[in-house]
Amino acid sequence: MDRGEREAGALPSRMTVETAHRGRRRSAHTLTELPQRTGDKRSLQRSRSVGALRDDTSKRQRRGSDGHAVWQEWFDEAKENAGRVWDSVSRFGMKLKSSADHLLEEVSRALDSDDEKPHKTVTSHDGDTGSCDSVTLPSRCKSRLDPANRFWFHHGFSAFPMRISLALSLVPLVGSVTPPTDTIVSIKSGGKDVDVSQLPTMLAKAGYTPDPEVASFLETAEITTLEYVHSQVVQTPPHTIGTEALCSFVTSASSKLSLQSECSKDVNAAVTSQLDPDLHVNDPYARDQRHLKLMKMGEVWRLASPHVTRNVKVAVLDSGIDWTDRDFAPLKGRLRKKSGGYLEGGWNFFTNSSVLTNGYDHGTPVCKILAAKGNNSVGIAGVAPNVTLVPLQMVGDNGAAPLSKFFAALNMAMDLEVDVISMSLAYGLRYMNYSEKAMLWQALAAAQQKGIVLVSGAGNWAEEASNIYPCWYGGPNSLCVAYMWDDNGRNTFHANSNWGDRVDVAAYGYDILTGVDKDGNERTFGGSSASTPIVAGLAAILLSMDVEPSMVKRCIVHNTDPVYAVEGKPQRIRGGAVNALKTVQYAIRWLSSKPRGLRGSDKFN
């Protein structure tokens, strides 16, 4: 079913670029008020005289005076006044620089007086008392100011730009503070903790010569002992002994002294992701799951949650998955078989074991869309939050899906008494003989009679789906799903989606995010193979709310929205575009009116 599902075609996008305009008026205003801010009244009067001169010039122009003479006179007077203003501002700059120089001298003297003190100090948040980026200012950092000052003087500026060079030089001192680099160690001897600072002494007593540099460092190092977790945290700023050197020393000493030790650099945990504002989950890529946002799944989950009574078992008949994936691992269950015994997770019908393979990358994206564990700070969120996933691998690593394996998977799904079967696959009826058709119909009917909801894809060949099974088979508990995309707010069939009177609904199936690859690139999936697990997930939500299987199809089909055909194509289906929010609201109303859950008829087809 995956063939033809990734029809490329860049969707139109619109981008509006707005630029913020800043005129000269604000700059002129700032310069005019600068003398006032420094308290220089004479400069303020001079700046006002410039304005008065402009008024006088306007009067002269109105009297028809010679234009050139007027403007020359205005220019000379303005130049003289501007010079006075500049001198005042320059004097302010000189005072500021003088104050800064005095501060630097005080800091330098303080640092010089600290040169003879032990290395053990309480550092600033950057943990580096010798760095030009620390809150304190070593004397060598002061020299950074001088080249900037020389630059301004070489280019003919007066004292005023010195204020600017000072500000520029101070930026790194405030803005590039780095966190301390710590080393975590755990050393044991006969089950008892050993203080890392005692290793040099222990080595000496055993006849070994400890590394003098590390020994000296450990004498004054900041060490925090974490008694209950049997570890120590050693501050190892880069300008002294680093993590690599300390760990090398600990490993070597432990070997010589027959100690058990672990040593590692400090690492940052991934902070719990911020909740997506629309979906209210913390999965990092939920922000890009546009189909969930279009379906308003955040609101759907919120409304459904108080009515959830149980987990739902969803079987996916497809290729295998990797249970070590953190979006899948919590969904694995130990399943009791009606015939006796248990099943761990899923089943591979090619190896007759519970070891799944995913050489054919189809089952993984299908399962991700349907049920990827949400709100676990990993990957994406699936449609259905309360499921036990049952992958039944009947698609081989080469993409082959024998009918015999399909029958075997259906049989096991019934033996496990699953609630939903999701099937993103299609058998072409025209290629089957009568016996194969009869056995297929019999198997699909048996599954529905067990109260299992079947969800399958209509296909991606831009034709009527009357040849596509199990989709076209129909039935009271069966949903046949076409795929659509959001065309600027209009639910529109994809050009390649199949259609027909027995196709029940359409769901999003274009460019559906399914996670990222090992390089961090987003992976997408499409076609009715993608729309099928969306509807299967919605069916699972309804069943988890105690909606009876016989009413699931009615709830979904009766609450659809219009879906529009591609121009020139006779795309039509029985229902419309899935509306998950309306569906769940409808189910809640029914549940509230039925004291023992929702009751419905099986005669809906």
List residues with catalytic annotation.
Answer: 318, 362, 529
* Beta partners for residue 344, in sequence order: 334
Quick check: 392 and 317 in contact, CB under 8 A? Answer: yes
Apex 277 CA angle, 273 and 278, nearest 5: 120
Query: Strand 453-457 relative to strand 478-487: parallel, antiparallel, unpaired?
Result: parallel
Collapsed DSSP state (helix, strand, coil) of residue 254? helix
Taking CA atoms, 111 is separated from 108, 114, 140, 241, in Å, by 5, 5, 11, 22
* Residue 520 backbone dihedrals phi, psi, to 5 degrees: 85, 10
Q: What is the largest CA-CA distance in the chain?
A: 113
Q: Tell me, rounded to whole angstroms, the distance of Cα 105 from its chain centroid.
A: 49
Q: Which of 599, 590, 581 is nearest to 304 (CA)?
A: 581
Distance between CA 23 and CA 143 in Å, rounded? 38
- The secondary structure of 221-242 as a DSSP string is --EEEEGGGTEEEEE--TTS--
Quick check: 263 and 184 in contact, CB under 8 A? Answer: yes
- The secondary structure of 541-570 as a DSSP string is HHHHTT--HHHHHHHHHTT-B--BPPTT--
* Beta partners for residue 183, in sequence order: 234, 265
Q: Which of 500, 402, 404, 504 is nearest to 453 (CA)?
A: 504
Q: Tell me, rounded to whole angstroms, the distance of Cα 497 from its chain centroid.
A: 31
Distance between CA 521 and CA 530 in Å, rounded? 19
Token code pair at residue 21: 């305009």
Token code pair at residue 404: 């015999």
Residue 20 one-letter amino acid: A
**Helices and strands (H and E) in the chain: how many:** 17, 19
Number of other residues whose CB lies within 10 A of the CB of residue 145: 19
Q: Which of 418, 406, 225, 392 is nearest to 310 (CA)?
A: 418
Collapsed DSSP state (helix, strand, coil) of residue 38? helix
The number of residues in the chain equals: 605
Distance between CA 221 and CA 249 in Å, rounded? 15
Distance between CA 194 and CA 197 in Å, rounded? 9
Token code pair at residue 535: 């509807």
Q: Which of 431, 427, 414 is nearest to 465 (CA)?
A: 427
Contacts of 228 (CB under 8 A, 6+ apart): none
